[in-house]
Amino acid sequence: MLIDRTQRGWGLASLGIFAAALVMYFLEVSISPQGPRGGSAIGLIFGVLGFGFMIFAAALGARKRVPTWRVGRAKAWMRGHLWLGLLSLPLILFHGGFHFGGTLTRVLMWLLIVTVASGVYGALLQNFIPKKMTADIPLETIYDEISHVRGLLREEADRAVESICGDVGLAKDVSGKIQRAGGFTALRPIAASAAPLRTSAAVSAGASAAVAPAAEIILLSETESAPLRKFYIEEMRPFLEQSKSRGSLLADEARASSIFTGLRTLLPAAAHNTSSDLEDICDEARQLLRQERLHRWLHGWLLLHIPLSLALILLGAVHAVMALRY
């Protein structure tokens, strides 16, 4: 969620609550010879409010799980989660008088700190990573489908290479029988070969390839195709197969461009189009890798934030009951 002008109302309200809490805290400090305590009237108010805000923030998860609930707008829930969750930290610090107390309260305090800190971190990341993703990754796809799309790219590249080098025994179908968007039940290659199919889908999409005249199919000799064959098997295919870009020359855009330029000098002119297609596939695969990396940054903090917040709510409830008992 973007922290922008639309958050002003929530921001000001939170600031007001924080200011009021601060005044109350200093009032308690001034009237309590031994300093503020969680068991005092004001301390209990802080505790109840802080825990209430935590529960509200945690309820966002339930609200997301059941989107059909008509309890406020999702945006309002998200803003409440952000601002009230943030407010819970100072309120609980006031509740404990900035003392971490015993074992349970100490665990609770650290859980709260880590949960709030990870939430703030996530909120900050969400303010600039999506923008960066839009700018840097024009070929972005759905994160969950990245590994599958990478397989399709590899298949496409295999076919492109085999179309001019002959069978090198690489092509494998990864599509399977799955329901796909676009009204097809089976994958149609984007540019499966140098001679594309005139499919109804291609025609309706108005793709230039679909209306272009069929190109001449050229099969390179063993000697001519050797550089491409070697490059593809040793460099490009491993790059398309692996989910991590580390160590591959093709992971770097400038170096990849340089490699493909060099490759084209070794290949006959008839193979240059295929070489360009391979470069294009590499570029898309590189973008998907980058998307994966950014996605991990963008959502990785949730692996900490959600479990800890659930533990916090559970232990907080135990603390509330036992603290009132003793």
Partner 1 sequence: MARTRTTKTVAQRIDLNYFKRPTPFKRAKLWLAILAPAIALVWIGWHVLGRDNRVYSSGRLSEAHAVLEKECAACHVQQAGGYSAAAADSACLACHDGPVHHATNVSVKLACAECHVEHRRRVNLAATKNESCAQCHGDLSPAGRDSKYFKHIRTFADGHPEFAALRSAAGTSASDSGTIKLNHALHLRLIRRGPSGPMVQLDCSHCHRTTASQSMDWPYGDARYAAAAPTYNGKDEFREVNSRGLTARTPASGRELIAPPKFANACAGCHLLTFDTRFDEGVPHDIPQVIHEYLVRRFAKYIATHPAELREAQNPLRNLAGRENRPATRSVSGAQWVAERVAVSEELLWHKTCAQCHAVSASTLQDVRIARWDTGKSSDQKSPSVSLAVLELAATERLLPEIANANITLQWLPHSRFDHDAHRGFSCSGCHQNALTSTETSDILIPGIATCQKCHAEGSDRAESRCFECHTYHDWAKRKEAKPTFTLPALRSTGK
**Where along the sequence are the contacts to partner 1 (CB under 8 A)?**
32-35, 37-39, 99, 101-105, 139, 141-145, 148-149, 152, 178-182, 184, 187-188, 190-191, 194, 196, 201-202, 204-210, 212, 215, 273, 276-277, 280-281, 296, 299, 302-303, 306-308, 310-311, 313-315, 318-319, 322-326
Residue 250 near residue 238, CB atoms below 8 Å: no
Query: 11 or 300, CB closer to partner 1?
Result: 300
Q: Which is nearer to partner 1, 103 or 223 (CB)?
A: 103
> Whose structure tokens read 């945690």?
58
Shortest Å, Cβ 210 to partner 1:
8
The minimum distance between CB 192 and partner 1, in angstroms, equals 10
Closest CB to partner 1 among residues 3, 192: 192
The CA distance from 308 to 312, in Å, is 6
User: Both ends of the chain: CA-CA distance in Å?
Assistant: 41
By C-beta, is 55 or 190 nearer to partner 1? Answer: 190
Q: Which is nearer to partner 1, 124 or 314 (CB)?
A: 314
Closest approach of Cβ 167 to partner 1, in Å? 21
Q: Is 162 helix (H, G, I), strand (E, B) or coil?
A: helix
Question: Are 118 and 305 in contact, with CB atoms under 8 Å apart?
Answer: yes
| Least CB distance to partner 1 at residue 122 (A) | 13
Question: Which of 57, 108, 79, 96 is CA-nearest to residue 8?
Answer: 79
Residue pair 312/115 in contact by the 8 Å Cβ criterion: yes
Burial class (CB in 10 A: 0-12, 13-18, 19+), 54: buried
CB of 245 to partner 1, least distance (A): 18
Q: Which is nearer to partner 1, 10 or 50 (CB)?
A: 50
Q: Smallest distance from the beta carbon of 108 to partner 1, in angstroms?
A: 10
Angle at 214 between CA 210 and CA 220, to 5 degrees: 125
d(CA 182, CA 61): 32
